[in-house]
Structures are given as C-alpha cells and as structure tokens.
Structure 1
Amino acid sequence: MQKKLILDSDLLDLTISRLCQQLIENHNDFSKSVILGMQPRGIFLAEIIHKKLKEDTGKDIPLGYLDATFYRDDFRRRETPVKANETRVSFIIEGKKVVLVDDVLFTGRTIRAAMDAMIAFGRPATVELLVLIDRRTNRELPISADYVGKEVNTLASQRVLVELEAQGHKQNKIWLINKD
C-alpha cells in the first residue's frame, strides 16, 4: 500500500480558512444559513468550519448532522448492512441556505441521498456543497461542489484518507492511497 500526502497540516489549515472566507463572501451575515455535516466523516469538517466561522464572524450558525444511510440507493444491495449514524438537526431548514459539508466527493451518490434525507426537515431555499477533496474522475451522478478544498484526479482503485485531529489523529493530513 502506497501513501502520497495530498495536504499537510499547514496547507489544510490554509485551505479551510480559504473555504470559510468564500462562505463569508457568499453568505454575508448568515442569518438565513445553516450547516449540515454529513455522517460519518463530514461532521468533523463541519465542526471545524462552524468554529472558524464563529471566530471570524461572531455568528453562531445552526449546525446539524445528517445521516443518509437509509436514503442510499445501495442500502439493501450490500452483503453486510451499513450501520446508521445519528441525525441531529434541531432546526427547520425550510427556506434556509443549506451548506452541506462532507470530506470527500467521489461518485455523488451519498450527496444525492443526503438531498433526499434533507427534505424531512423542510424545503431549503438553496443547497450548496462544501468538500475538502473533490475526486473529479469516477463521478456517477451529475453532482458538483460549490466549495472545494482541492481537486484530485484519482483512479477507482485509489482511496482518499482524511485524518483530522478531531477524529483522534495526531495531525490534520490528507492522503491518497493506492490499494496494491
């Protein structure tokens, strides 16, 4: 197994700061905005983004966790059932600008499922997607991110590994792994 470093801790911090600045430019006072972190790994990035935006703007933007497990089109096709995670959305998203946050955009199927799952909480005015890594190749659905930390061309046999301190890792790093 070969590992190639995509983003080290310093570059990842800079990338997250840039993503937050883009959000500030597009959302102004965040009065109609909410952040939804995708379970299981997108919630860690959503928490980092939420904290940084609060530091930079002084605004406490509503933050929730969204699990799309039961909305996936492959849910019943797997040999081993996928374990569901907690959905925690303590606010209505009706008429809100939703920023959906995930760590990696690959096929687009998880995001499609997330959009279906969101409807249980109201009809948003807009939905924007923020991802750290956009695996541009291998997209199966016509889904693209509005905010991208880094675009990476990958093979289907490769994997992107996001290691964040919030997940218990020593440093924030993102790796490209060749499954040999």
Structure 2
Amino acid sequence: MKILLVSDTESKYIWDFFCKDTFKDIDLIISCGDLKADYLSYLATMIHVPVFYVHGNHDHYYIENPPEGCTCIDDKLIVYKGIRILGLGGSMKYKNGPFLYTESQMSKRIQKLKLKLFLKKGFDILVSHAAASSINDDNDLCHEGYVSFNNLLDKYSPKYFFHGHVHMNYGKKPRTTVYNNTTIINAYDYYILEY
C-alpha cells in the first residue's frame, strides 16, 4: 500500500503543478495537521483515495469549515485495509485555544482509548501533529514533544509513527528516525511511503 503523507505546508509541487500520473498508485492520504482545508479537499478530489487527518495547532478554522471529503481520525483507532491507525492531533499547550494540550491532557486522551487499544491488540501506525519527547521535537514549549507518545511507542511498538509540526527547515531535522521497532516519519510538506 502506498501512503501519501502531508503536513504543515501546502506543497507547490502538488497544488500548483499536479500530475495525476505521479500519484496514480497512492492508496491512502494521511495529513498530520496544519494544512488548509481546501488543500485536503483538493487532494481528496484529485487523487480519489481516502484522506485521514488529525488537527494541527493552527487548524482552529476546521471547527467551522472542516475539509470536505476527508475523515478526522483524532481520538480514534480505526482499521483501514487491515492496518490499525491511531490518531492523536494537536500540540503542546503554549497558549489558550483548540487542539492544544498539556502533557496531562494528552495522557487522558490516550487513557480514553485504552479499551479500544486492548480490543484491537495495539496499533500499527500512530498519526499525530506533535512529535514524541526528545525524538525530532524542539526545545521551545510549542514544539516540545509528548512523553505520552514515547510511552505508546514503548508499550505497543507500532510499525510507524507519522507526525508533523517540527518543520524540516527549522534546522537539521531528519525525515526518518528509528526508535526501537518503530520508524518515525516527519510528514512535513509531503512524503510517499510504501507500507
């Protein structure tokens, strides 16, 4: 299965110079947040595959105008073509507003999914906006990662963890990192993955 990951910035390559042949083999699109609703709707229309998304810290306008033709997976554990996908959007709370969570609040969100995680025997992909603590995150409060995510990776050892939020142009941030048995991918701009 080929997955198109998108996050944080609308790719000019995709939006301004779309070539259908380039994306003809894509089976699924996953957004890790902070993209215009129109952009996600455009992807759903042009590529004709499901688009799953979590909220980024700047996605407050989704409340009134969510992306059309797309599915929010925030606070959900869904199964798509046999792949268990857990969605936990938002980022560390650095001001008041929607989709901003303290470490404690993120931990409570995860606790509410405990039964589903037990029944599904874990998950294969974690999709978030923020990174995990000390793995591809940054030192300022806004871009600090969640220890709760580290705990999820330690306990369930998923195959993948997709996130955005920490733009790759913020310094020498890697696109991919391996943490124990989990491949972590920063979805900034866009990235195509063969699952």
| TM-score, with structure 2 as normaliser | 0.32
| TM-score, with structure 1 as normaliser | 0.34
